[in-house]
Structure 1
């Protein structure tokens, strides 16, 4: 589990992330630790990146200038990767936050994890599976915030609507992931504490997040499937157990 005093390096690919998203991203990052280093990479001579000036200043993010010296080559990605490796070798950080929807960072994420350091990825739903799976945890930008309508650089998105029971039960990937996680974490009585269930789900699927289905809490998502009994014990521990097939039928 992440510790609030973990030191994190936050590296942002400006070409792939709108400045309208950064407030929500940093709020999410704060759940995992302290953003000791915050850098955003881009060619600031490009008009479409002008919006980052105010955002970087407001959040004390260091802008790193990287000119595109050769057409067709992404110098920004290379600069971010080089800095990430330099920071990794300092041994100061317990986690790296890579904010991008670009698959070019797949190998970087894998290399950092080889060092035993946690990688948190942030990107849009279009992010390739290879990069998502290379992270310990991947969060979709669409579920943590909807950009303001006044931001012309990023169209406003609607909050994720809660999926109903029918939709949840027909989501094969979700149903299988829940079944495996609960059965693996369960004791002899068939009951499993919610915390290890959540950990197992994220190990199976780094992009697993109850908010992807419109639920703020994992317990609410599991309860909404109608397949499990979810109870809070007197000590506050949340326990999950599969319902008998006869009672798990949809109403």
Structure 2
């Protein structure tokens, strides 16, 4: 029996806009991209002040190549152009097929679109300030949130009284309507009137790269779908799930269609 052919790992390029974000985001970005493949390019772009002061320790510690770009004129940022050109070069040279851009600068939205047009996968790791234009230009958006800082008294070394143990407030679980609309759309194209959860998850990520059930108070997509009265979740043979409209919702849709056909 011949040995199985190993599946080639995806090659990932992590390109950081050091002039636009903070060094604390770097470790989070590397944890995010670990799921996509092997990181073959690690580069940080910025001017002399940014790379020599703010980012030096982080880039050295995480084995990133600093890409220094001098400012040829006051107020002109040349690092963005260098990052964009290096990304396209890495794609055309087949050194990388997946790209992680660490930035919150919407100027990179066009770069994301060009990379994806050529078949590359692009994710963005950015801060809460990241504009919608950049989030939606990527295949997936990951929002980094800084760790909470100690209050002023603790930072100054002043002892504080222990806080009383308060009962844990249950998280509010929300049911966004767009999930129901997505299932209605996808299930209508199948003979069974049901859609696999993997296909649904991919669709939701494509329409909103920052989508996460946790943002709506749920531990996962299955947990989220169980809260919808108008959906029927089913565990198929093999352990995977499918979901479709409940019988009540199907009856409502049929009644609405008949009413429209009769001109009512």
- Aligned position for 2:260: none
RMSD of Structure 2 on Structure 1 (CA):
2.7
Q: How many residues align?
A: 223
Deviations 1:82-113 (A, max 9, x none): 21122122023221111110011011111111
Q: TM-score, normalised by structure 1?
A: 0.77
Check conservation: 1:162, 1:215, Cα contact below 8 A. Answer: no
Q: How far apart are residue 231 of structure 1 and its match? A: 4.3
Asked if residue 217 in structure 1 is aligned to residue 216 in structure 2, the reply is no
CA distance in 2, matches of 1:139, 1:222: 22
Query: Are residue 106 (structure 1) and residue 141 (structure 2) matched?
Result: no
Structure 1 residue 232, shift from structure 2 partner: 3.6
| 8 A contact 2:91–2:97 mirrored in 1 | no
Name the SS of the counterpart of 1:19 in structure 2: coil
Q: Structure 1, unaligned stretches of length 5 or more?
A: 151-160, 247-251
Match of 2:177 among 172, 175, 178: 175
| C-alpha displacement of 1:214 | 4.5
- Superposed counterparts of 1:1-251, under 5 Å: 5-46=9-50, 50-142=53-145, 146-147=146-147, 149=149, 164-165=172-173, 168-169=174-175, 174-176=176-178, 178-186=179-187, 187-224=190-227, 227-243=230-246
Runs of 4+ in 1 over 6 A off after TM superposition: none
Q: Normalization by structure 2: what TM-score?
A: 0.74
Alpha-carbon distance in 2 for matches of 1:15, 1:139: 19
Structure 1 residue 51: Cα displacement: 4.1
Distance 1:224 1:20, change over 3 A: farther
